[in-house]
Amino acid sequence: MRNILAIIASLLIPYIFGYTQSTDIHELMEMGVYPIDSISSEIDYVDSSLIKFNTLSLEDINDDFSNIQDLEWLKEIGNDNRAVLLGEDHFNKFIQNLRNRILFTMNTYDYFPLIILERPFTYTAFVNYYLQFEDDNEAEVFYEKNLLQIVNTEEEYDLLQHIRR
pLDDT, position 30 = 78
Contact 130, 139 (CB under 8 A): yes
Q: What is the pLDDT of residues 81-119, one digit of tens each?
A: 888 887 776 667 888 888 888 888 988 888 888 888 778
Residue 155: C-alpha distances to residues 33, 90, 111 (Å): 29, 10, 23
pLDDT, position 37 = 54
- Where does the pLDDT of residue 145 fall: very low under 50, low under 70, confident under 90, or very high at 90 and above? very high
Average pLDDT of the residues of the chain: 76
Per-residue b/e over 49-66, b at no fewer than 16 CB within 10 Å?
eeeeeeebbbebbeeeee
- Where does the pLDDT of residue 65 fall: very low under 50, low under 70, confident under 90, or very high at 90 and above? confident
Q: Which residue has the higher pLDDT, 70 or 38?
A: 70
- Where does the pLDDT of residue 46 fall: very low under 50, low under 70, confident under 90, or very high at 90 and above? low
Please report, for the chain, the start and end positions of each structural domain, with discontinuous segments joined by +: 121-164
DSSP string over 15-71:
HHHHS-SS--HHHHHHTT---GGGHHHH-TT--TTT----PPP-SPP-TTS---GGG
**What is the C-alpha separation between 105 and 154, in angstroms, rounded?**
21
pLDDT, position 5 = 46
Q: What is the pLDDT of residues 2-39, one digit of tens each?
A: 555 445 545 544 444 444 444 566 777 777 776 655 44
